[in-house]
Amino acid sequence: MSANLAAIEPATGLWFSPDFDGHGFDLQRIGDRYVNVFYTYSEASEPIWYFSVASEFAGQVSGAFGLFQYQADQSLPQQLVNEPGDFSIDFVGTGEGSVCAEA
């Protein structure tokens, strides 16, 4: 008996949900890793960008986000100011799901 499992390649590009205006992410593959930039807005309507270098296993991309802020008075002006948490994007599911969800 033999079985072939098709390799699942996560779809890169710009993703968003029409149910969450102004929120989404850009997923790009670089070598064997993925770069994920999630964009959203603060309560004061200021744009926020979270960044992650993520890994993929069995069609699921996961990693931890970091929030960076430009600080001109610092050596290396881009500073990690917050690590809001982990994420996981499953490309193997039923085709249904949400990009953003309220906690």
For residue 69, is it within any domain?
Answer: yes
For residue 2, is it within any domain?
Answer: no
CA angle 85, 43, 61 (to 5 degrees): 30
pTM greater than 0.75 = no
For residue 44, is it within any domain?
Answer: yes
Q: Which residue has the tokens 């600080």?
A: 71
Per-residue confidence band for 90, with pLDDT thresholds at 50, 70 and 90:
confident
Question: In this model, does residue 35 exceed pLDDT 60?
Answer: yes
Per-residue confidence band for 5, with pLDDT thresholds at 50, 70 and 90:
very low
For residue 97, is it within any domain?
Answer: no
- Our count of domains for the chain comes to 1
Written as one letter, the residue type at 46 is: E
What domain range is 74 assigned to?
Answer: 13-90
Question: In this model, does residue 37 exceed pLDDT 80?
Answer: yes
pLDDT tens across 44-72, in order?
888 888 999 999 988 889 999 998 877 77
For residue 30, is it within any domain?
Answer: yes
Question: In this model, does residue 96 exceed pLDDT 90?
Answer: no
The per-residue pLDDT for 1 is: 37
Lowest mean pLDDT, pick from 16-25, 66-75, 94-103: 94-103
- Among 88, 76, 81, smallest CA distance to 34 is for 88
Mean pLDDT score, 78-101: 72
